[in-house]
Amino acid sequence: MCPPADDRPLPNGAEVDRLVELAERLARGAGDLVLTGRPDQVEVSGTKSSLIDVVTERDLASEAYLRRELARERPYDGVLGEEEDPLVGTSGVTWVLDPIDGTVNYLYGIPAYAVSVAAVVGTPDPAVWTVVAACVHAVADGRTWTAGLGRGAYLAGRRLAVNVPVPLDRSLVGTGFGYTAERRTSQARVVAQVLPRVRDIRRIGSAAMDLCMLASGNLDAYYERGLQPWDLAAASLVAREAGAVVTGLRGAPAGEEMTVAGPAVTAAALVGLLEVLDADRDDVSGGDASA
Ligand code: LIP
């Protein structure tokens, strides 16, 4: 836990609890808006990094709701969201928002998409931030994960703990894939080498839900290259507070280059494999893990 970049003290336990309560209230409110406002035929409002990286009207409405509520309740905080420009605050707290994580699932009506709300202290960069409060609300089925720094991770009032580690070849591993053909080609190379070395792969389609399901014991480990700060922020705290290590490769912190998560011994084994495969690089053929 690195000190906030501007050396302001981290919030105390009671302040963390208040931030968690607000994160949950906001995530549930945005989730209601996403669910009740879902038309029979979801329309694509726009695209981003590629034609398959879509934004729907509900993504935009969800983030607008979250920002309105934060402006009212936390007017001096910053905001970093997936769909609108960053807002720099003066309080030292920044809210990191994914209005719908798993947008393609939402577009297709696959019930695995979530609203992710996190409060971070310090520069809102996964390499240096301290996530202090988090909520990931799975909109379709209502599962709602919460976590506060040092306060544990919870689902439906139950304190969460990651699974007891098992060898990698008996681990159920979550992952995901990017939106560009170049990135997907590289990720296909990596997953082809990982798949024979683990129990199985699950591609849920929401990084936030992947990490929360790791915290709940539904996965043994997770890795993905290309996560944005809003994919990662809230769920990384849920996973850590459930006992997971959340890291990058080669000693780097978790972030866009690579995110690996799991119980320490499992995460270490997966990191070792992914480093041999050069899984954090798109421009290589990768090493031979069978050697
Ligand atoms: C999604 C991530 C997921 C990844 C998808 C997509 P989005 O975020 O949560 O892990 O595999 O490609 O990036 O775009 O639905 O907010």
Domain ranges of the chain: 13-159, 168-276
Cα of 229 from ligand 1 centre, angstroms: 11
Report residue 287's pLDDT band, with 50, 70 and 90 as the boundaries. low
Residue 170, pLDDT above cutoff 70: yes
Residue 4, pLDDT above cutoff 50: no
CATH of domain 168-276: 3.40.190.80
Rounded to an integer, the average pLDDT of 38-51 is: 76
- The correct answer on CATH 3.30.540.10 for the domain covering 13-159 is yes
* Helix 181-194 / helix 264-276 crossing angle, nearest 10 deg: 120
- Pocket of ligand 1 contains residue 102 by CB under 6 Å: yes
| Nearest residue to 84 via CA among 117, 55, 122, 106 | 55
Rounded to an integer, the average pLDDT of 138-159 is: 97
- Pocket of ligand 1 contains residue 176 by CB under 6 Å: yes
- Pocket of ligand 1 contains residue 101 by CB under 6 Å: yes
CA atoms within 13 A on the CB side of 241: 27
Rounded to an integer, the average pLDDT of 242-248 is: 98
Beta pairing partners, 223 = 260
Rounded to an integer, the average pLDDT of 152-161 is: 97
Residue 270's Cα: distance from chain center in Å? 18
* pLDDT for 50: 77
Instruction: Give per-residue pLDDT as tens, 48-82.
Output: 887 777 778 888 999 999 999 999 999 999 999 99
List the strands of the sheet with 114-121, edge to edge: 78-81, 93-101, 114-121, 130-138, 144-148, 152-155, 158-159
Burial label for 62, CB within 10 Å (0-12, 13-18, 19+), is: buried
- Pocket of ligand 1 contains residue 224 by CB under 6 Å: yes
Cα of 196 from ligand 1 centre, angstroms: 24
* pLDDT for 286: 61
- Across the chain, mean pLDDT equals 93
* CA of 53, closest atom in ligand 1: 14
Pairwise CA distance, residues 211 & 220, whole Å: 10
